[in-house]
Structure 1
Amino acid sequence: MKPLASLLLLLNFCMYAVILGIGGWAMNTAIDHGFVIGPGLRLPAHFSPIYFPMGNAATGFFVTFALLAAVAGAASAISGLNHIRSWSAESLGAASSAAVFAWSLTILAMGFACKEIALDYRNTRLITMEAFFIILSATQLIYIFAIHGAVSTR
């Protein structure tokens, strides 16, 4: 189980890093092209503080939770690296709790990705993030099972 867990750990970390890059680009674009309220201007009737010009109504929520899930996933990969290195019952608790927390945020972001797919109209970078979250929802769960697989107690 240790080689499988190592492979999944590396794969998940790389995918979370790509999501952080694309999500950072989306957040930067949203900040640069957001609505500016100046003196004498009023908010539009359907103003949303989470406005992203490159997608649809679900994009703001998807990108926000994608960034949170990617940070938690990268942190769980660091904790998982320590567990893979020692592969003992003492390091299992930290690695598994971080992995389960990252997986739950990944599932939440995948739900917003599914909503974004249902609403249509998005660019290729957002499509890439959606695909990565669909893949990560499975690979992170398999990783959780793999690290629980054959931990030896000393």
Structure 2
Amino acid sequence: MPTTAGQPMKSVASLLLLLNFCMYAIVLGIGGWAINRAIDHGFVIGPGFDLPAHFSPIYFPMGNAATGFFVTFALIAGVVGIASVIAGVNHVRSWNADSLPSAASAAAIAWTLTLLAMGFACKEIELRIRNSRLRTMEAFLIILSATQLLYIAAIHGGSMRRT
């Protein structure tokens, strides 16, 4: 039975796609919870109400000053990450040079957005006040920044031809 040179990388890419899909889905779930909680427990602004001294339009009742930015960019990274998984599944199914550019570009965009969200996670860690769900989301984004990069390397490594 003949094997191709990229077959081991195809298996690695498939495993990383599954792992990234699960972690991005968890990030989206926790981020959705945080947005829902922020909406339910946000400020009531109307006639006769004054804005608090340090009002932020992305106020989150849990966490610290970086939480609103962190959750917002984590949700964006999660959605784009899921989209990159969809493009990646298409590439792994065909595993040819024609499907590589779309999978690689989607993965690179998801990775850069994940790095941005990870930067806000680092700032949130530095400010210290946060709950366990936010800590979980921080950890997942830090891990995703590495696994997404490994996935990008795997799909590019599998596309090299040996002569």
The separation in 1 between residues aligned to 2:136 and 2:40, in whole angstroms, is 22
Number of the residue aligned with 2:155: 147
Check the 8 A contact 1:2/1:146 in 2, yes or no.
yes
Number of the residue aligned with 1:59: 67
Point out where structure 1 has 5 or more consecutive residues left out of the alignment.
Answer: none
Map 1:13-24; keep pairs closer than 5 Å: 13-24=21-32
Q: Which residue type is aligned with residue 37 of structure 1?
A: I
Does residue 50 of structure 1 match 2:77? no
Q: Which residue type is aligned with residue 156 of structure 2?
A: H
The separation in 1 between residues aligned to 2:158 and 2:129, in whole angstroms, is 45
Check the 8 A contact 1:87/1:152 in 2, yes or no.
no
Does residue 5 of structure 1 match 2:49? no
- Quote the offset at 1:151 in angstroms: 2.0
Task: Give the fraction of aligned pairs with identical amino acids, expressed as a percent.
Answer: 76
TM-score (norm 2): 0.92
SS at match of 2:42: coil
The separation in 1 between residues aligned to 2:113 and 2:104, in whole angstroms, is 14
SS at match of 1:89: coil
Alignment length (residue pairs)? 153
Does residue 73 of structure 1 match 2:94? no
Counterpart selection for 1:89 from 97, 117, 126: 97
Q: Which residue type is aligned with residue 83 of structure 2?
A: A
Q: Which residue type is aligned with residue 65 of structure 1?
A: F
Point out where structure 2 has 5 or more consecutive residues left out of the alignment.
Answer: 1-8
Does residue 101 of structure 1 match 2:91? no
- Quote the offset at 1:41 in angstroms: 1.4
Indicate the RMSD between aligned Cα atoms, in angstroms: 1.0
The separation in 2 between residues aligned to 1:98 and 1:32, in whole angstroms, is 34
Output one character per residue of 1:18-49: Cα deviation in whole Å (capped at 9) or x when no partner: 00000000000000000011211121221111
Please say which structure displays the higher CA radius of gyration: 2
- Quote the offset at 1:94 in angstroms: 0.4
TM-score (norm 1): 0.97
- Quote the offset at 1:152 in angstroms: 6.5
Where in structure 1 do 4 or more consecutive aligned residues deviate above 6 Å?
none
